[in-house]
Every structure is written in structure tokens, then in C-alpha cells.
Structure 1
Amino acid sequence: MFPLKDTEMGASTFFASALPHDVCGSNGLPLTPNSIKILGRFQILKTMTHPRLCQYVDITRGKHERLVVAAEHCERSLEDLLRERKPVSSSRILCIAYEVLQGLQYMNKHGMVHRALSPCNILLDRKGHVKLAKFGLYHMTAQGVDVDFPIGYPSYLAPEVIAQGIVKPSDHTQCEKPLPSGPKSDLWSLGIILFELCMGRKLFQSLEIAERLKFIIMLGCVDDIVTVLAEEHGCLDIIKDLPENTMDLLKKCLTFQPSKRPTPEELLHDSLFSEVSLAYPPFHKPAGLFSSSPRCANLTLPEDISQLCKVDEDSDYLAERSIEEVYYLWCLAGGDLEKELVNKEIIRSKPPVCTLPNFLLEDGESFGQGRDRSSLLDDTTVTLSLCQLRNRLKDVGGEAFYPSLEDDQSTLPHSNSSNELSAAASLPLIIRERDTEYQLNRIVLFDRLLKAYPYKKNQIWKEARVDIPPLLRGITWAALLGVEGAIQAKYDAIDKDTPIPTDRQIEVDIPRCHQYDELLSSPEGHAKFRRVLKAWVVSHPDLVYWQGLDSLCAPFLYLNFNNEALAYACMSAFIPKYLYNFFLKDNSHVIQEYLTVFSQMIAFHDPELSNHLNDIGFIPDLYAIPWFLTMFTHVFPLHKIFHLWDTLLLGNSSFPFCIGVAILQQLRDRLLANGFNECILLFSDLPEIDIERCVRESINLFRWTPKSATYRQYAQPPRQAGDSNGTRSSMSCFSADYQEAPRSDLSRDSIKLDDLKAEVSPRISAEDLIDLCELTGPSHSKTPVKKTKPSKPKLLVVDIRNSEDFNRGHISGSINVPFASAFTAEGDLIQCPATATLQSFKGRVVVIVGNAVKNTAAFAAHLVKNKYPRVCILDGGINKIKPTGLLTVPSPQI
């Protein structure tokens, strides 16, 4: 988007047509309100960026189908030139015409026409250049079908538009639409406007609307329309004095037959503008972040390079930011579109008693209100004041808008109010996201980092650990997922039109997926859903569509609504990382292994809760499959998913286990107090979950989980060295993705699913044990052991072999609790010095080591029954440690 330096922001409002409440569509569901349809179509207008178009920013829904649109705005327009009642010079006429044609040509290339072209909608910025306003009204209202007012101004409508009349669908359940106007209709409107500028006043002012329309239709009977218009309005002398090129321009625009009238693009390249066009360099839309074109292809530097470093104390740094950023900050600073319109009396509220309908008595006398004119179109645009925002940011220094990207810099840019920023960084996330100054700093910093992606990928990860600004969440997620390359070309190459068997299921699922959201519930949202889901199914022939894939797609589509290719690319990168092979045709073995590991994680972190859930038979199969198959998108609304995934994307494939345990721990008291039936009812309508607390506790659980404890043989294979997506877990946590590490003799081995299910506690690998014990000794051939300074032990190793075997060699620092004499017949721990040591370590990681797997698993199960948390088993037993030379023998007693 362009910076907001030569323009302002404005707001306007209109009403969508109301639909009857007792009518349903062909699918049996209530009809989608016209305001939601308009809201969905509006979104593509935000991508229409051109110097000759006013940038659309946002649209909001109000009561009674009211819509409020925020867009770029200029105070002056061609209407002001006409008020001066002076003819405009021919040279200026050509410049205005050329700039309008530039805007129209860009719109036509994107399949749009203006249809509401008039002097009041051709604005002039501070430099006097043209900007077309309200060019999207015709598109967003489905050619005027979804509103009760005609699109366009009678005096400027083309003859073919007037001849067609207003077409409204007779049946609201049908998609009947009028024949859309073509690009040539705008050229007629431009011709009338240019004619008015040439003579210095408006046409048809003395005629009623019906007479104006009739007069325009009658122009088809004459050969020289320009001359007839001049004679009719008494300005023939002015017209005769016009230069030949200006007359030629008017005649080409005011050609009655559309077939003979040129298109804006044809007229733009006419010889009429051969000299004018030299002053206008061609417009190149900047390349996007994920594009095949170099982002610096059209970069130009000033002749005097020192101008780049010039500092002006009066510089308006805020005006250098994009209008999208300024509007976002304006809202954070207390801006409200409806309130602005109410203050200017564009929106007028009336007491309900004053809006009673009109009724007639028997004698014909009527009482009540006439037509409520407040529901009619008022095309006034109110300029949005930035004073409140500027006052809020008055203490922000210029350096905050240009933060240094050096790796040794602080996570927050420097500013005059850096202390306040540091204090804000420690506040809850929901407060930080509403802090104007804090968000400005984060947006500016992330914007610069993302423009340097993938070069600054590591620093993006580092900053994302602090938080992610909501405005840039979509593209930041893409960077965290390692999306790169020309994603649009790849997406376009996928066949999304040919019918496939999955189409029916997709059609059924979409109307039930996050339909509380206005954007995703719009017809445009449904169409985008359909294309992205179908693209994923078609491009992954080895996988199938499972219910839940639509929920998984929803966050990516919402954040990248105008970039389906990026939504598809993010989804395609997300699924292999967190849901590898979940969408196989037969995924039972993958799901069962996942749920078994989750069950072990519950026992590892909360043995009391695990014991209770196992006792009542409330296993993860009954409630957790939708959690993990959709990565919680089926469980939580989108605003909670955004905060949850901000952290999830920083972790690895084991992090969802920790989220699941954190959710159970929030419900812990209710689960422990209830039986099977009550737990089923509890999860059928999940209570409110504090997402910030869930994230915080998930990270803590993640840090306490040994990386190999979540090993799954059906997880994603190890990434190759140098893989751009193989970024290490950025949480600096206790746990990391075990599958990412190269395998060695000390790695954890795969076991059968039945054997895994038989064990209550997770296994950890020998290399994890060595790392966590901080043992020193001869390096293993494949796993070098780094010597570190002694510190507080992170875990306790419990050797359950008999004392003879223990004395022949054991892990340094371990205690010996022989399995045969550790527990009573009831399963209680027998008290002895060794078990006293074990109790003193309760709450830290306890690793059970022995010769037989059966004994170690049973010993661990007994500890879990005795409510010992963080109990795990050494995979492979003591035999895995023997080759390392790290076993010690006790010194003989003297």
C-alpha cells in the first residue's frame, strides 16, 4: 500500500437491502444477509493499489444492514473546479483525462468498472493528481443487486445503462443479476465530466431526473453529440474555441453506440496523449514477499544519495506509513467509524416510537411516518481526524519508525518512551495488542524484518517469541512456517475446477465451519474455502480429505483472505509439521499412536488426573481426536486460535501434547470431581478456556518434557541438513523435536503400538539421559558428550536392578531401589533410605533404569499410582549406557 502523505482517510455509509426473515435457501439454511455478501466482495478491493485510485481500507457492519466503508480520501475534487464556474484549460483537461483513464484501465484489468463516475468522485490530492473514489461500489454490491438504490448518477450514466434500467431479482433465493456494465460505460461518464470542465458548469441542472435520462437517450438520433450538448446549454462559442485534440477526445468519449466507443485502455494509448504520457512513468506494482519477481526490481535511488539520510525535525513519520497501518493504529487510539458519522449527522438515530409505519384510516386519512430518508444513499464522505492518534504518538521519536535490525539490538525499538514500552512488554498479551504505541513499534519492526525475509528469518523467530502484531500475523505465520518461492504460480497450476468425489463433503462442511465469523460466512468466503481445500486435496494425491480439514484451513484463509495462494502454502507447510500422515486414507495407526503418547504425557505431568481418568475409562479417544486432528481449531474460536498458534508455530510437533495437557489441567478440579458421564457432558460443551494461561502453562510443560518422551515412529522423518524449514525450536525449551535430530545408537527405538499402549509412562532415549544428567566421560563415537560445570541435578535416575548388578556398574548419581523389594502387595512404596531420596526428588524428572523392560514399566506404573509426576523409562535399559563407558563402580570400602 502507498504511504498516507498526500491524502487523508474518509468514511462513508450505505444500507444493504434487507431480506425476508421467513425465506431459506436451497440448502435449507437461512439466506445470507446482503450486508455479509457485500462485506465478502469488498475484501478484494483492498488489494487494488494504484496511484489513481483511492485505497480501500476497511468495511464494518452495523445494525439494520448498515455498512460503513473506510478508504483513502481527498478534500478537493473536480466538483470544486466546477463550483468556480470557470472553463478549465485544455492542457489541464488532457492531464485529468489521462489520469482518470489510468485508473479506469487498472480497474478494467482486474475485471471491474466504476459505473459511479462523477465530478464528486474524481478527487484531487495535495499535488493536484487525480484519485478515483467509490470505484468499488458497483462491484461490492453485485452490480447494484444487493442495495435499494441505483449505482451511478443520472446525469453521467451512459445511454446503454439508462436503456437497461434497474433490474432487481424477483426471487431472493436465485442468483439473478442484471447484465453488468462494461468498461465503455465509464468512458461516456468521463466525456460528460470533461465537457462540463470545458464549459465551466454542470449540465442538466434545470431538468428533472426523468427529463435528463430522456434527453441522453434521444442523443442517439444526432451525429455530433458534442455540438448538440453545446447548443442545448448555450456554450457553443466555448466549444468552438477548443483545440482539436480536446474536441477529438470529447467526441470519442461521447460516442453513442458502445460498439463504436473505445475502451479506456484503447483511448489511453491513443495519439491524443502522446505528449501527456511522457510525464507519467509506467506504474509497477511492488512485488510481493512470495513472488518470482525480485522485490528490488523497480527500486530507484535519488541522484543525491545523502537525501536518504537527511533528518528533518518536522518530518511527519506517521504519514510515511501505509494507510492500512495508520487506520489500524487509529482504531487502537479510540477511532470509531460509526461515531465519526454520527458526529457529522450522517447517521441519525430516532426513538423506536418515531419509526412506526404509516397506516390509513377508512376515510383515507393517513398517520405515521413517511419514508425514512435516513435509509437512502448519502454519498457524503467524512474525513477522519488523526489528531487523537497523533496526540497518542507525540512522544514517539523518529528512530522508532526506523529501527535497527542488527542482531544484538533489543527486542523493542528505541524511543523517547522506551521505559513505557518495556513496561508494556510485560503486560498480558490482550493489553499489548490494544496499546497504540506498543503496536506501532511492533508493526514497524516486523514490517522491516519481513521485507528482509528470508535473510532475517532467525530474527523474525526471535521477535515472534515476544509477540506477533495482529496486523502482520498472516505473513509472519508464513515466515515461521518457512514458506518461500513463487507460491502464486504453484497455486494457479493446480486444477481446482474439475469435479472430484470430495466435492460433496467439502460443500457440506464449509457452511458449518466458523460461520459466526462474517468474513468466512460470506459467499466469497465459501468460494475461497472451496478452492483452497480442493487445491490441497488435488495436490496431495496420497492423502484424503477428512472432516476437520476445513477447520484447519480457516485461520490461514481468514488471515490471507485476499491471498488464497498464501493460505494454501501455509496450510501445506503446517500439516506435514504438526499432522504428518494424519490425513492418510487409513490413519488409525497414526491416531492411536498419537493418543497413546498423549495419554503418557498426562501421566507424566499429572499422575493424579491420569489415574482418575483411567479409572473411570475416560480415555483420550473419546475427546481428543478433534483436538489434534484440527489442532484445536474445532474447539476454540478464531481469536483464541490466533493466540494459541502464535506460540504453537514456535514449537515443534510435540507442542500440541502440552496444549492438550494444559487444557485438562484448567478443567482438573471438575474432572477429578466427576465420573464418566459427567466428563462426557463436560466435553460435549467445553467450558471457557483461558487461552493466555493455557499458552503459559503449555510452555512450562514443554520445558519439562524430555525431547524423546514424545517420540512417535509415524511422525515426520528427520529433515535433511540445510533444509530451510529445519529451524530449531525457538523456545529454548527443555523439549525439542526428537525427529529432527540425527539418529545414533543412543536414540530411542521404535516399538509396537500394543507395547506402547501397555506402558503408562513415556520412554526417553539414552542420549537424552546423558544430556540431562550432564555426565562427563569418554565421548561416544556418534554422540559427543559436552563437559559442563556441575549444577543442580535436573532429574533422578532410579536403578531397579538388584544390588549386585548395581555395584558392578551404574550411572553416576543414580540410586538403587531393587524392584523386588520396592513395593508392598498393595502397591505402596516401602520406606527405606533410597525411597526417602526418591521422595525428596518428587516433582523432578525420575528416570527408571533396569535390565528388563517389563520391570521398569511396572515400577514406573507403581510410581504413577503413588502420584509421582514426571516419571519416565530409559529406552533399552542399562544396556544402552554400557557402550558409552559412563557407568561407574563404587570405590571399595577400606
Structure 2
Amino acid sequence: MKPIRDAQLGAFTFFASALPHDVCGSNGLPLTPNSIKILGRFQILKTTTHPRLCQYVDISRGKHERLIVVAEHYSRNLGDFRQEQTVSPEKVLQVAYEVLEGLDFMNKHGLVHRALSPNNVLLDCKGNVKLAKFGLYHMTDHGADVDFPIGNPSYLAPEVIALGCFHPSDPSHSETPLPSGPKSDVWSLGILLFELCAGRRVLQNIEISDKLKFILTLGCMDDIVTVLAEEHGCLEIIKELPENVVELLRKCLTFLPSKRPTPAELLGDPVFDGISCHYPPFQKPVSLFSSSLRCAHLELPDDISDLCKDDDEDYLSERGIDEVYHLWCLAGGDLEKELTNKEIIQSKPPVCTLPKFVLEDGESFGQGRDRSFLLDDTTVKLPLCQLRNRLKDVAGEAYYPLLEDEQSSLPQSNSSNELSATVTLPLIIRERDTEYQLIRIILFDRLLKVRAAYVLGDIQAKYDSTDKDTPIPTDRQIEVDIPRCHQYDELLSSPQGHIKFRRVLKAWVVSHPDLVYWQGLDSLCAPFLYLNFNNEALAYACMSAFIPKYLYNFFLKDNSHVIQEYLTVFSQMIAFHDPELSNHLNEIGFIPDVNTDMVFVTHFPCCICFSTWHADVFPLHKIFHLWDTLLLGSSSFPFCIGVAILQQLRDRLLANGFNECILLFSDLPEIDIERCVRESINLFCWTPKSATYRQYAQPMKAGGDGIFGKTATYFSSDYQDMPKTDLSREPLALCDLKAEVSPRISAEDLIDLCELSLAGPTKRSKSGKPKIVAVDIRNVEDFGRGHVSGSINIPFNSVFGPDGELVQCPASGVLQNYRGRVIVIISHAVKSAALFAAHLVKVNFSRVCILDGGISKLKPTGLLTVPSPQI
């Protein structure tokens, strides 16, 4: 995004045409409001960046189909320039060339201006052209979604005028007129250039009907330029112009579109040979996901303060215009308030807005057509004084942040201290804190430029090569699912949103022939599409990388074994972290099992992370915050998110039975996402890596990690990606996995957690106590032949009888002193260890797990301790 520099933020407003409330579409759903349609089409305009175009920034919906558009703005326009000074022929050619550059770029992206007028040809501080409101024709579907014509009649091309005026609400018009082409803008440019040369406006002081009639009669003239000059008394001025300028005017003001050149053709005209060399070809800005170098000069001086010696330096002006607008909103900016202060928005009493109606005798009552619903071409400048005042105390160093490896011996800057202080505040405060967000935006921007200078893989070519148009059997299900997916969101509910949904989903289905579409894949796609609305290829690439990591084999035609294993591991995670809740859920039969109650499974909270058919359990803004953390963790992190959600609901779950719990998840209460993220990280840190092992998870791959790259995580690495050894956890049959309440951990995990060595265990928590305790349930003789150093011996036969019946409760003894630590049960036979662990869970011992493979896995390591013989 271009820096704001001498530009301003401007806003203009208009109304979309209203639709009848009692009419539904062919699918039986209410018609999409025209304002939603406009909002969806607007999004692509934010990516249309060129030095000759004013950058679009944002659009918002208000009441009664009102839309407010925010864009780059400049105070001077072509009309002001004409009045300020006499325009030289050289300046006329410069203006013409720069306007044609903007028009040609638009045409290459399928856009036509159609609203060229002096007010919409702005001039920056250097006098260069900036075309404004170039997207109005596109976003309104060529004028079909508004009740006013697009363009000033004085500048519209004859073929546009010949089409007449079209109103969508008029029942006499069954079809919309054909859209204008690039050549219509060339005529409008010709009128603008003629006015510059003549020093006056033309076709302005006559009635609209006479004006239109005169324009249409120009088709009978051989030399339109001469006729216009004679009509407005400026023939002598036109005759004094250089021949090349007059020839340019004649080419632009060619009556027949078939003979009129396009902007691209005019740019190559010899008339511009003398100035075209001063305009280098436009280079598209390098995006984040490209193979080009994005950071040419990012090295900072040893002393960052050298950049910030001038107290009057306007550092904010070097930030992107979209960033400045975001900060303006955080600092209290209100679009409707600014437009109301300039009387662009005027409130009226409800009685004055009643529709007009006519009685049988012809007498009429009520309000006629409200002109406020027509287009007001005024652009209101958004004042930045409030934002600048808010940021006046932010040091200049904050705009040039040092990264961790650059700080070394340099003193801590004020901006870093402020960032550290603010980060401890609640999320809702941090998100609305202007200073914090400024520092955060700049820091993240620099991190992306420095740390990710290259991103490999041509995701656009891969997406383009995928067939997204040929009908497939899945089309019907996709069409049914999309209108129900996050339709509270204006962007995703727009027709453009539906089109993009369909294309991305079909691309995924077609490019994964070994997998199938399961209902709800659209909900999984929604966050990626929303965040990359104007980059379908990136949305597709993100989803394609997300699914193998977190939902590997979930989209097989027969995925029951994958789902059952996942739900079983999740049940073990509940027992591991919250045995009391686990016991209660088991007692009431409220357990995640695809064979018992599918309604429960589809509403179970862990489904927001691993089940694709209900990723819309949370609204998008909560999903973003949750997935920001999820993407930094391993494939097992969703288990911890699910447990964290359950723990927020545990009081209500413990107090209710099966039916009440079903209703609770059918209408999920408000979840504190910030707390969920914080607690899930803590749960993850307490979970041994191998405890969440799944044999149906994604196997380790050589090379990169897809579009997300080799990301450093807050947490431990993914156990699935670790090389397998003799000490690794072995695959377990699903029936055996379901029979165990507590998870298993590998021998290598036990060695790592205990930091076993010949010197014994050294792993300790902050309190100084060991974080893990090994409970060896073999008999005393076997324990004496070799055991884990520091382990506790509680023989199985001292707790359970020969038939597995409970003899006494070990929790009343020595294990009470070890509550809160990870308890690893070690035995010869894993079956007896599982029974012992299940009993500990029954009496509410948390963090209980079983050593996979038993003591025999540790014997070859030489790490077992033999007691010294007593003398």
C-alpha cells in the first residue's frame, strides 16, 4: 500500500437502490440487498493500485442502503487548475498522457471509469494526475444497483447518452443496458482537454434536454472540435493550438465509437513521442507471497535515534494510507459524523420520509422523490488532527523498530517499553489502543520484510491451472452450503463472496481427487477467504496447507476410523487435564463417539478445530484470534483448545445431565477467546508430546511445511514430525485405544521430561519440585532389579486383587503429595498400568499417563537404577 504523504483521506456517500421486502430469490432466500452486492464488488478495487489512480481504502454500510466510501484524496482538481492559470499545450499533453495511463491500466483490469469530469481528475502536490471515483461504475454493476446515472451528462459519450436513462426500479426496463467500453472514456477525456485548451467549461449553461440533443447532433458534423469552438466562442483560441494538440482533440472527439481509438492506442500515438520517455513503465508492487525481493534497503543505523532527530518530522505520512485510516478509526474517527458535520448526511423526521401515494380523485399526498438519495459528488476530507494529537507522544524511534537481534547492547527504546506495558492489558483494550496498534503494525511490517524476503512456490499458477468451471457432482452440495455459511458477514454474503467461495472450494475438490467434499468444508474455507478476499489463490493455498496438518485424512470417503481415533484421543486429553469433568461426562454418557450420537459430535466444541462441518461455531473475529495461535502450534494443539473451552463451561456441565448438555452445545454460550487461548497454551505446555500421538495423523514429510513455512512456535514441536526410534510410541489398535482412559507416552518422552541420565532425574518446576513423577507398579523384587531413578514403587498387587478388584485406594497415601504433577505409570504389562491409571483418574488425579511398552522399553537404554547393596 502506497504511503499517504501529501495525500488526504476522503469520503463520499451514496445510496444503493432498495429492493422489495416481500420478494425472494429462486432458492427461496431473501434477495441480497444491493448495498451488499456493491460491498462485494468494491473489494477488488482496493487491490487496483497505480500512480494515476486514487487508492480505494474502505467501504461501510449504513442505514437505508447507505454506503460510505473512503479513498485517497487531493484538494486540487482539473477544474481548479484551469481557473488558476492559463494551460500551456505542453501541460495539456501531460494531463492527457497521465489520464490515459490510468485509463489503460483500468482497462487491462476490466474497469471503465465512465464518470470522468473535472472534479474526478485530481492533482497531487507535484501536479500529477490522480483519477478519483474510477470504481463507481464497477461497484454498482454498471449503474444497475443505484437510482442515479453514473457520470456527468456534459462529459458522457454520445453512445452512452443514446442508451437513455436506466432506473432499476422502473418495471418498463426488463434488461439492463450494455456496459460502456473503454472508448467512452476517451470521449470524456476529449471534452476535458477541450475545456483546458479553451479555458472555460462547455455544455454547462443549457438545459439538459438541449444539451443532450446538441451532443447527439454532433454526429452530423465533420469537425466536432471546430463546431464546439464556434458554439462556445473560443474558435480563435483553438486555432492557435499546435497541430498535434488539435489532432489529439479530434481523435478523442470522434463521434462513432468504431472509429474512436482506445486509451491503449492513444498512448502509442506519435503525439506523445516527446513526453512518453519521461514516464517509466509501471512496476506492480511486490506482494508478500512472491519470488521477488521485497526489501532492498532495510538496514538501520547503529543508533536508531539518528533517524529521528527532527522533532517536526511527519513520520505518520510515510505509513500506508490503509494503516493511517485504521489508526484514524481507532483514534475516534467516525465517517457518518464527518459527513453529517458537512451536511452531506441530513436527518429528517420520519413523517417527511413517507412514500408518495395518490387517491382515486388524483390528489397526491406524501413525499416526492427524495433528491438526497441521488449521488452527491462531494468528497469530504477526513481530518487527521485527532489522530496526530493522539500520537504526538510516540517517539520517532517507534516508526523504525529494532528487531531482537539488532538491539544487542542498544538501550531499550520508549516504544518497546510501551509495547511491553500494553501487552499485559486485556485483548479488547489492546485492540482499541491507538499507540499500541501503531507500534504493532510497524513492527510486524518490518518482520515480514526482513524474515520472509522470499516465499517459494507459484501459488497463482497452480490455482489458475485448476479447473474451477466444469460441473462436478459436488456442485449441488456446495450451492446448498454456501448461503448458510457466515452469512451474517456482509462480505461473505455478497454475490462476489459466493462466487469466490464456489471457486476456491471447487479448486480444492478438483485438486484432491483422493479426497471428498464433506458438508462444512465451506466453514473451514471462510476464514481464509475472508482474509484473502482479493487473492483466491492465496486463500486456496492456505486452506490446502491447513487441512493436511490439522485435518489429515478427515476428507476420505470413509473417514470413520480417523474421526474415532481423534475423538478417543480427545477424551483421553479431557481425562488427563480435568478428571472430574471426564468422570461426570462418562457417567451421563456424554462422550465424543461417532457411533453413539452424531448430534453431539457435530456440536462438540473441539469441532471448531478438527471437524470441518461446524467451523462456524464461533463468529469470524473469534476464529481469527483462535487460529492465530493455532497456526503456531502443532497438529495436537486443537485438543488443548477443546479442553480449554470445556473448562470454561465445566460448572454448567457438572451441574447438568445428558439432555441439558446437548442443549448447551446446540446453543453455545459466550466463550472468552482470550482466556481460551491463554489456558490452551498452558494445557499444551503440560501435555507430553507423545500423549496426543495418532497413527492416522499426517506422517513426517521431508522439506517445507507448505505455505506457512518453517514457523517457530510458542510450543513444543509436533510429535508426528519427529523421527521414529526404538523408544518412540507404537501404533495402537483403535479398540485397545478406546479401552484406555489415560493417554500413553513414549519412552523417549519420559527420558526427556525426567532429563534422565546416569546422574538421575533433574527436571524441576519453578517451585523447585520435579514436574514429573514416575510410579512403578511392579512388585518389590522387580523394582529392585532396576527402575527409573527417583520413581515411586506402589506394587499393583497391593492395590488390586487377582481379579482386578480394588483392594485399597493409593490416592489416600503417598501420591497425595504429588497432585498436580505429570504421573507416569510404569509396569511390565500395559494392561495393568491402564487399570491403575484409570483408578487414579476415578479419584480425580490429573495428568496421569502410561508408559508405552512398559519397563522393557527402558531396559536397553542403560538408564535404569539398581539400588546399592546394604552393608
TM-score range, shorter chain: over 0.9
- Tell whether the 8 Å contact from 1:842 to 1:869 is kept in structure 2 after alignment: yes
The alpha carbon displacement at 1:204 in A equals 1.7
Amino acid in the other structure paired with 1:34: N
Instruction: State the Cα RMSD in Å.
Output: 2.6
2:634 counterpart SS class: coil
- The worse-fitting range, judged by mean Cα deviation, of 675-684 and 133-142 is 675-684
- Residue of structure 1 equivalent to 2:323: 325
Structure 1 position 775 matched with structure 2 position 756: yes
- Residue of structure 1 equivalent to 2:73: 73
Alignment of 1:81-160 (within 5 A): 81-84=81-84, 87-160=86-159
- Tell whether the 8 Å contact from 1:488 to 1:565 is kept in structure 2 after alignment: yes
- The worse-fitting range, judged by mean Cα deviation, of 627-636 and 847-856 is 627-636
Alignment of 1:487-506 (within 5 A): 487-506=459-478
For 1:292 and 1:377, locate their aligned partners in 2 and report how far apart those are by CA, in whole Å. 43
For 1:529 and 1:150, locate their aligned partners in 2 and report how far apart those are by CA, in whole Å. 31
- Tell whether the 8 Å contact from 1:817 to 1:835 is kept in structure 2 after alignment: no
For 2:535 and 2:391, locate their aligned partners in 1 and report how far apart those are by CA, in whole Å. 32
The alpha carbon displacement at 1:188 in A equals 0.4
Give a deviation string over 1:105-157, Cα, whole Å, max 9, x none. 10000011100000111001111111000000000000000000000111011
Alignment of 1:365-384 (within 5 A): 366-384=364-382
- The worse-fitting range, judged by mean Cα deviation, of 822-831 and 39-48 is 822-831
1:731–1:412 distance in 2 versus 1, CA, 3 Å:
farther
For 2:457 and 2:469, locate their aligned partners in 1 and report how far apart those are by CA, in whole Å. 24
Structure 1 position 811 matched with structure 2 position 788: yes
Which of 849, 861, 864 is residue 884 of structure 1 equivalent to?
861
- Tell whether the 8 Å contact from 1:192 to 1:254 is kept in structure 2 after alignment: yes
Which of 865, 872, 876 is residue 842 of structure 2 equivalent to?
865
Structure 1 position 755 matched with structure 2 position 753: no
The alpha carbon displacement at 1:418 in A equals 4.6
Give a deviation string over 1:209-235, Cα, whole Å, max 9, x none. 111111000000110000111111111
The alpha carbon displacement at 1:2 in A equals 1.4
Give a deviation string over 1:788-810, Cα, whole Å, max 9, x none. 89963111111111111111211
Amino acid in the other structure paired with 2:463: Y
- Residue of structure 2 equivalent to 1:53: 53
- Tell whether the 8 Å contact from 1:509 to 1:550 is kept in structure 2 after alignment: yes
For 1:18 and 1:885, locate their aligned partners in 2 and report how far apart those are by CA, in whole Å. 80
For 1:739 and 1:362, locate their aligned partners in 2 and report how far apart those are by CA, in whole Å. 80
- Tell whether the 8 Å contact from 2:75 to 2:122 is kept in structure 1 after alignment: yes
- Residue of structure 2 equivalent to 1:694: 676
- Tell whether the 8 Å contact from 1:511 to 1:526 is kept in structure 2 after alignment: yes
Alignment of 1:220-299 (within 5 A): 220-295=219-294
Percent of aligned positions with the same letter in both sequences? 76
- The worse-fitting range, judged by mean Cα deviation, of 592-601 and 414-423 is 414-423
For 1:54 and 1:663, locate their aligned partners in 2 and report how far apart those are by CA, in whole Å. 46
For 2:413 and 2:343, locate their aligned partners in 1 and report how far apart those are by CA, in whole Å. 39
For 1:857 and 1:412, locate their aligned partners in 2 and report how far apart those are by CA, in whole Å. 55
Give a deviation string over 1:584-623, Cα, whole Å, max 9, x none. 1111111110000001001111111111111111111323
- Tell whether the 8 Å contact from 1:162 to 1:213 is kept in structure 2 after alignment: yes
1:649–1:213 distance in 2 versus 1, CA, 3 Å:
same
For 1:711 and 1:685, locate their aligned partners in 2 and report how far apart those are by CA, in whole Å. 31
The alpha carbon displacement at 1:705 in A equals 0.5
The alpha carbon displacement at 1:786 in A equals 10
For 2:619 and 2:714, locate their aligned partners in 1 and report how far apart those are by CA, in whole Å. 29
Which of 730, 737, 750 is residue 718 of structure 2 equivalent to?
737
Give a deviation string over 1:611-657, Cα, whole Å, max 9, x none. 11111111113233743213962211101001101111111101000
Amino acid in the other structure paired with 1:589: H
Gaps of 5+ in 2: 300-305, 594-599
The alpha carbon displacement at 1:694 in A equals 0.9
2:839 counterpart SS class: helix
Give a deviation string over 1:766-798, Cα, whole Å, max 9, x none. 0111111221129xxxxxx99889963111111
For 1:106 and 1:507, locate their aligned partners in 2 and report how far apart those are by CA, in whole Å. 34
Structure 1 position 830 matched with structure 2 position 808: yes
The alpha carbon displacement at 1:177 in A equals 3.3
Which of 563, 566, 570 is residue 591 of structure 1 equivalent to?
563
TM-score (norm 1): 0.91
Give a deviation string over 1:185-217, Cα, whole Å, max 9, x none. 000001011111111111122211111111000
For 1:698 and 1:296, locate their aligned partners in 2 and report how far apart those are by CA, in whole Å. 36
2:617 counterpart SS class: coil
- Residue of structure 2 equivalent to 1:794: 771
- Residue of structure 1 equivalent to 2:426: 428
For 2:566 and 2:135, locate their aligned partners in 1 and report how far apart those are by CA, in whole Å. 49
For 2:175 and 2:770, locate their aligned partners in 1 and report how far apart those are by CA, in whole Å. 74
Give a deviation string over 1:799-843, Cα, whole Å, max 9, x none. 1111111112111111111112215899767367x9622111012
Structure 1 position 684 matched with structure 2 position 666: yes
1:361–1:877 distance in 2 versus 1, CA, 3 Å:
closer
The alpha carbon displacement at 1:367 in A equals 4.6
- Residue of structure 1 equivalent to 2:30: 30
- Tell whether the 8 Å contact from 1:168 to 1:178 is kept in structure 2 after alignment: no
Amino acid in the other structure paired with 1:750: P
- Residue of structure 2 equivalent to 1:718: 700
For 1:620 and 1:866, locate their aligned partners in 2 and report how far apart those are by CA, in whole Å. 22
1:869–1:730 distance in 2 versus 1, CA, 3 Å:
farther
- Residue of structure 2 equivalent to 1:398: 396
1:154–1:414 distance in 2 versus 1, CA, 3 Å:
farther
Amino acid in the other structure paired with 1:232: E
- Tell whether the 8 Å contact from 1:403 to 1:414 is kept in structure 2 after alignment: no
1:141–1:721 distance in 2 versus 1, CA, 3 Å:
closer
- Tell whether the 8 Å contact from 2:774 to 2:824 is kept in structure 1 after alignment: yes
Which of 573, 580, 589 is residue 601 of structure 1 equivalent to?
573
For 1:802 and 1:175, locate their aligned partners in 2 and report how far apart those are by CA, in whole Å. 90
Which of 786, 796, 821 is residue 844 of structure 1 equivalent to?
821
The alpha carbon displacement at 1:372 in A equals 2.3
The alpha carbon displacement at 1:323 in A equals 0.6
2:491 counterpart SS class: helix
The alpha carbon displacement at 1:357 in A equals 3.4
- Tell whether the 8 Å contact from 2:754 to 2:763 is kept in structure 1 after alignment: no
Amino acid in the other structure paired with 1:35: S
For 2:367 and 2:708, locate their aligned partners in 1 and report how far apart those are by CA, in whole Å. 69
Give aligned pairs, total.
851
1:424–1:716 distance in 2 versus 1, CA, 3 Å:
same
2:154 counterpart SS class: helix
- Tell whether the 8 Å contact from 2:798 to 2:807 is kept in structure 1 after alignment: no
- Tell whether the 8 Å contact from 2:545 to 2:706 is kept in structure 1 after alignment: no
Amino acid in the other structure paired with 1:11: A
TM-score (norm 2): 0.93
- Tell whether the 8 Å contact from 1:12 to 1:379 is kept in structure 2 after alignment: yes
Which of 483, 490, 499 is residue 511 of structure 1 equivalent to?
483
2:405 counterpart SS class: coil
- Tell whether the 8 Å contact from 1:142 to 1:177 is kept in structure 2 after alignment: no
Amino acid in the other structure paired with 2:808: I
For 1:753 and 1:46, locate their aligned partners in 2 and report how far apart those are by CA, in whole Å. 51
For 1:539 and 1:360, locate their aligned partners in 2 and report how far apart those are by CA, in whole Å. 60
Gaps of 5+ in 1: 302-307, 457-482, 779-784
For 1:355 and 1:171, locate their aligned partners in 2 and report how far apart those are by CA, in whole Å. 20
- Tell whether the 8 Å contact from 2:520 to 2:614 is kept in structure 1 after alignment: no
- Tell whether the 8 Å contact from 2:6 to 2:125 is kept in structure 1 after alignment: yes
- The worse-fitting range, judged by mean Cα deviation, of 486-495 and 524-533 is 486-495
For 1:549 and 1:775, locate their aligned partners in 2 and report how far apart those are by CA, in whole Å. 45
